[in-house]
Amino acid sequence: MVTRIPQMPNTAVASLSSSTVRAKPISSRHDGLAAALMIGPNLILFTTFVVVPVVAGLMLSFTTWDITNGFPKWVGLANYRRMYSDPLVWTSVKTTLKFIVVGVVPTVVISLGLAMLINFRFRFVGVVRSLYLIPAAMSFAASAVVWRFLFLDGPGYGVINYVISLFGVTPPDWLGSPTWALYALDIVTIWLSLPIATILYLAALQRIPDAVIEAAMLDGAGPWRRVRFIIWPGVRYMTLLVAIISLLAFTNGSFDLVNILTKGGPLYATQTLIYYIFVNGFSYGAFGYASALSVLLIALIGGILLLLRLLSKVTLR
Amino acid sequence: MMAPAGVRRSGRILLATLIGFLLAAPLFYMVAGSLMSNEQLSIQPPQVIPSSLHFENYSQALSGVTQVIQARSFLNSVIFTVCAVGLQWMLCVSGGLVIAKMRFRGRMLITVMFAISLFIPLVTTLIPTFIVTYKLGLIDSYAGLILPIAAQTGFGTLLFRQFISQMPEELFDAARIDGANWWGILRRIVIPLAKPATAAYLAISVLTAWNMYLWPLVAAESGSLQVLTQTLALVGTTGQGQVTPQNVIFASVVLVTLPMIVVFLCVQPAFVRGLTGSGVE
């Protein structure tokens, strides 16, 4: 499924590495037929709507096609050449990367801070933690509607700009300004991503025994040293997962929020690659070109994932 | 000099609570706004407490000229969520059993394929997925709305696989000796024992389906298949010559979101288990 809600790479990683899974060879039993019947419907649907689209997308990227009539026409690398010389492609790649970096980094840092803040017991701790988690139940669509009102500018300031103006600063017209619109979308997506990131960090923090932290405090370790030498080593394995989940959330947000709040504007300032693909496919009917752009998008996301993995390998050493 | 422990503790509780309210503030504001008069919503400085309670905003969101939420789109959201998640659950729990406990060639290949699919979210393959659905003649039908989403079985199958693989092998051997076939094992052993995994799976998937916007947007061209996220997006879209009053919009968002917030608060522990990839507690 597709949303900012994680489709848990953790599960994927665990299932590939776990050795407990292999059935013991008690006999030379083979369940071929029963297995095929049982997993068949799953595999048929999965192949039709997940595997085929990936392969078909790659093939279609070498064609032009108006899907309503006729067959795809082979054009070789024409779509890719067009992509290379299309300035809007470069802007939307840059916008996408900026949207992701400006969003994911604060999400990771802030959620770790929040998790540390609420990782202790007190009366009503459950209620307070719920406050941190509720936004996770919101859809991009619902959040967009609420935040659009909070971001209002002009004579009837929204709450955010009212608060900013109290400090004597002239607030920006968030969604209407080419400079600020992308940051506004980032703020909404960060707000939506924090709960899940915080839950994950909290789960990691709760595995660090209180006794270890207390012992460190007795030894005179200040807050900074406690974070550096006890908390960070205890949670850093979780950071990769938090980063990946946030990355996928921001990938989704880069369509939903853009389509509802800004339509790629103003002046293409929020035209993410996904939105550009959507426009090419569904507004211009350029399905071949849109397929080529989709290949670029998958490569982009795949590249970031590889980079994250490399980073985590280096820092975990 | 450090403050005494008690003071620091109270300070931390205070800070944690304040930040919690700050994070949830947009939601409180949404509820407050849904009860205000439209005049109160537009005065400066912005008001946060309704001066009088306007519950009629809710009836206006559900009927009359300002109607936002149609019974049809509510029903569509329910049908979409129940069918997509229900079908996917059946595929995932049986698929999970197959990969976890049955012996056949190609098991690793299938597992790897599911794992890779987690990193290719539907949004990246939107165009070809649309084309496949279109060529199957399913655009603008419930099947076209539901099947491509139910087909995203990677996450669920791996979740159940992980949970089922921890069930003792003897259990399965014993059942087979008693003459049970794999369907019997699925029904009488796996599904009852996998309840925690099912809870975790449902918590995540129901929320995901209910909140999904992109696929229904492209799969349902006619209004009769519209789901609630689209309804909200339409009133929320900037520059559409907005006619719906803001307080009615807020009431609509509350009506759409509240069921999920309630569900979420109830299933929170299961949700966390699903996220951290451990069906077991």
Does residue B243 lie in a domain region?
A: no
d(CA B189, CA A55): 38
Does residue B180 lie in a domain region?
A: yes
Overall number of domains in chain B: 2
Whether residue B33 lies within 8 A of chain A, CB to CB, comes out as yes
A20, pLDDT greater than 70? no
Whether residue A16 lies within 8 A of chain B, CB to CB, comes out as yes
Phi, psi torsion values for A73, nearest 5 degrees = -105, 125
- Whether residue B90 sits in one domain with residue B11: no
- Whether residue B24 sits in one domain with residue B122: no
A105, pLDDT greater than 90? yes
d(CA A120, CA A122): 7
List, for residues A136-167, the tens digit of each pLDDT value: 889 999 999 899 888 887 666 788 888 888 88
Residue matched to tokens 């921890």: B166
- Whether residue B135 sits in one domain with residue B35: no
Does residue A194 lie in a domain region?
A: yes
B10, pLDDT greater than 90? no
Both tokens of residue A21?
Answer: 């899974």
Contacts with A241 (C-beta within 8 Å, 6 or more apart), sequence order: A8, A9, A10, A200
Per residue, what are the HEC states of B86-99? HHHHHHHHHHHHHH
CATH number for B118: 1.10.3720.10
A28, pLDDT greater than 80? no
* Chain A interface test: which of B123, B153, B172 (most A C-beta within 10 Å): B123
Contacts with B230 (C-beta within 8 Å, 6 or more apart), sequence order: A141, B73, B213, B216, B217, B220
**Residue A11 has what pLDDT?**
53
pTM of the model: 0.87
Whether residue A217 lies within 8 A of chain B, CB to CB, comes out as no
Q: Which residue segment(s) compose the domain that A309 sits in?
A: 86-316
**Residue A240 has what pLDDT?**
87
Distance from CA of B52 to the nearest CA of A (A): 20
- Whether residue B14 sits in one domain with residue B77: no
List, for residues B234-252, the tens digit of each pLDDT value: 886 655 455 788 888 899 9
Whether residue B171 lies within 8 A of chain A, CB to CB, comes out as no
* Angle, CA of A183, A187 and A190, to the nearest 5°: 130
List, for residues B121-150, the tens digit of each pLDDT value: 888 899 999 999 998 989 889 999 999 999
**Residue A112 has what pLDDT?**
93
Average pLDDT over residues A87-98: 93
- Top pLDDT among B91 and A119 is at B91
Partner residue facing B23 (CB), from A135, A297, A302: A135
Closest CA to B229 of B219, B241, B239, B243: B219
**Residue B2 has what pLDDT?**
58
Does residue A114 lie in a domain region?
A: yes
Distance from CA of A182 to the nearest CA of B (A): 15
Whether residue A277 lies within 8 A of chain B, CB to CB, comes out as yes
Contacts with A270 (C-beta within 8 Å, 6 or more apart), sequence order: A95, A99, A181, A182, A185, A258, A261, A262, A264
Name the 3-class secondary structure at A14: helix
- A contacts of B159 (beta carbons < 8 Å): 8, 11
- Whether residue B153 sits in one domain with residue B40: no
Does residue B251 lie in a domain region?
A: no
Does residue B240 lie in a domain region?
A: no
Does residue B44 lie in a domain region?
A: yes
Q: Work out the mean pLDDT of chain B and round it to a whole number.
A: 86
- Whether residue B77 sits in one domain with residue B26: no
Whether residue A52 lies within 8 A of chain B, CB to CB, comes out as yes
- Whether residue B120 sits in one domain with residue B45: no
- Top pLDDT among A26 and A68 is at A68
Percentage of chain B modeled with pLDDT above 90: 34
List, for residues B41-71, the tens digit of each pLDDT value: 877 787 888 888 888 888 888 877 777 888 8
* ipTM reported for the complex surpasses 0.90: no
Q: What does the buried/exposed string (b/e) look like for B227-253 if buried means 16 or more CB atoms within 10 Å of the residue's CB? A: bbbbbbbbbbbeeeeeebbbbbbbbbb
Does residue A61 lie in a domain region?
A: no
**Residue A13 has what pLDDT?**
45
- Using pLDDT thresholds of 50, 70 and 90, give the confidence band for residue A51: very high
Overall number of domains in chain A: 1
- Whether residue B128 sits in one domain with residue B264: yes
- Mark residue B241 as left, alpha or beta (left: phi above 0; alpha: psi -120 to 50; beta: remaining): left
Contact assignment for B102 to A158 by CB distance below 8 Å: no
Whether residue A309 lies within 8 A of chain B, CB to CB, comes out as no
List, for residues A276-307, the tens digit of each pLDDT value: 999 998 888 888 899 999 999 999 999 999 99
A169, pLDDT greater than 70? yes
Does residue A72 lie in a domain region?
A: no
Does residue B27 lie in a domain region?
A: yes
CATH number for A169: 1.10.3720.10
Q: For the residues of B61-89, what is the DSSP string, one character each?
A: HHSSTT----HHHHHHHHHHHHHHHHHHH
Q: Which residue segment(s) compose the domain that B28 sits in?
A: 5-54
Q: What is the CB neighbour count within 10 angstroms for residue B73?
A: 24
Contact assignment for B131 to A60 by CB distance below 8 Å: yes
- Whether residue B87 sits in one domain with residue B121: yes
- Whether residue B115 sits in one domain with residue B186: yes
List, for residues B178-221, the tens digit of each pLDDT value: 888 888 888 888 999 888 889 888 888 998 899 999 999 999 87
Contact assignment for B23 to A194 by CB distance below 8 Å: yes
Contacts with B199 (C-beta within 8 Å, 6 or more apart), sequence order: B267, B270, B273
**Residue A39 has what pLDDT?**
92
Alpha-helix residue ranges (DSSP H) falling in chain A? 9-17, 32-46, 52-60, 78-85, 87-118, 125-133, 140-150, 159-166, 181-205, 210-218, 223-226, 232-257, 273-278, 287-316
The partner residues of B105 in beta bridges, in order of sequence, read none
- Top pLDDT among A255 and B242 is at A255
B279, pLDDT greater than 80? no
- Whether residue B261 sits in one domain with residue B182: yes
d(CA B126, CA B137): 16
- Whether residue B176 sits in one domain with residue B98: yes
B96, pLDDT greater than 90? yes
The partner residues of A64 in beta bridges, in order of sequence, read A73
